[in-house]
A and B are shown apart, each in its own frame.
Chain A
């Protein structure tokens, strides 16, 4: 039986966890992150948007994005983003002489990704095809050889995405020396 091959290097751990506690432009950040994904031809799916006001400290929002992109007829990239905002309040600040409405919150962003093989199920549904696919992936391509190239590309592209977010939040640890990888 042919099984769906999802090569998930980060199935147990996310690629990166970013935390920020301060004042930032959440509307702008949301748009920047969305535009980054859409510009790179990722299909954008917002699978969860939860809002509640549990305490007088502020609102709480949970946002889940499951974005994917077909690399070729056999490989698909998935980028999973999970945003959690706690103690969210709107504040008005004067930045460079202009009044702006910004958000003060505790922001947590979890970046994850996975590589999916044979997403279009081109291998026919039979035992022999299943064995052939197993043989191709485990012995000819080998997860640590050929398949890891795709994972490597996705991994460093997620770090480029993370760099965009860090720069927008004006974090001190912005910068990515691996910008020329993929």
Chain B
């Protein structure tokens, strides 16, 4: 039976200003392709109004690391009030977009995605005990791998959007004891 464990929980990136939406999407798509992730675009929504465009994307690509574990990165992008502007850069007119971007990154590790340890509840119990106490070095290695990929993407997007002074949350796994769930 498969099990999904959260590695990065709701890491947010917000930006307001100039950017190229098409290039941003291509950057993300190319990143996942280069890293060996399989494409999965859950929803893609676009609304065109006189005030601007409203775009929402939900991507959830996955990558099989071994026959037991796979990385899943869930990326939700909400781009609002997008308007086309023409900016002069080095005496060259460049067509860009101006708007607000909100991104939410989640990273998971899915183990036993081939459902080999299912069918009998005893197998599930054995698998949980082995994962938690005996194979912990391997599972923590998988988690680190997934976290590195997600943080790499985050930094790449940040660099693309040219953010220098943004306050970002810690790029680590969530704390063990979660008492008050946030939004």
Contacts and interface: CB of A to CB of B under 8 A. Distances in A.
Interface of A: 13, 16-23, 144, 156, 159, 162, 166, 169, 171-178
A172 B57 CA distance: 11
Interface string B39-82: 10111111111000101010000000000000000000001001
A160 to B, nearest CB: 11
Nearest to B82: A172
B46 A178 contact: no
Interface in B1-58: 21-22, 25-26, 29-30, 32-33, 39, 41-49, 53, 55, 57
A50 B53 CA distance: 29
Nearest to B43: A17
Interface residues of B, number: 25
27 contacts: A16-B41, A16-B43, A16-B44, A17-B42, A17-B43, A18-B43, A19-B43, A19-B44, A19-B46, A20-B45, A20-B47, A21-B45, A21-B47, A22-B48, A22-B49, A23-B48, A144-B114, A156-B39, A169-B46, A172-B79, A173-B21, A173-B22, A174-B22, A175-B22, A177-B33, A177-B39, A178-B29
The 3 closest A-B pairs by CB, nearest first: A22-B48, A19-B45, A177-B29
Contacts of A21: 45-48
A19 B48 CA distance: 11
B47 A22 contact: yes
A166 B48 contact: no
Contact of A177 (B30, B47, B49): B30
The prevalent SS among residues of B at the interface is strand
A100 to B, nearest CB: 16
A113 B129 CA distance: 38
A20 B26 CA distance: 19
Nearest to B113: A144
Interface of B: 21-22, 25-26, 29-30, 32-33, 39, 41-49, 53, 55, 57, 79, 82, 97, 114
B153 to A, nearest CB: 13
B46 A175 contact: no
Contacts of A166: 44
Q: How would you classify the secondary structure of chain A's contact residues: helix, strand, loop or mixed?
A: mixed
Contacts of B41: 16, 159, 162
Contacts of A171: 44, 46
A19 B39 CA distance: 18
Given A144-B114, A156-B39, A172-B21, A177 B46 contact: no
Contacts of A18: 43-45
Most chain A CB atoms below 10 A, which of B29, B39, B57 = B39
> Which of B26, B32, B45 has most A Cβ within 10 Å?
B45
A17 B25 CA distance: 17
A137 B33 CA distance: 30
Nearest to B23: A175
Given A144-B114, A173-B21, A22 B46 contact: yes
B29, B46, B82, most chain A CB atoms within 10 A: B46
Contacts of B26: 175, 177
A13 B77 CA distance: 20
B22 A172 contact: yes
A177 B45 CA distance: 19
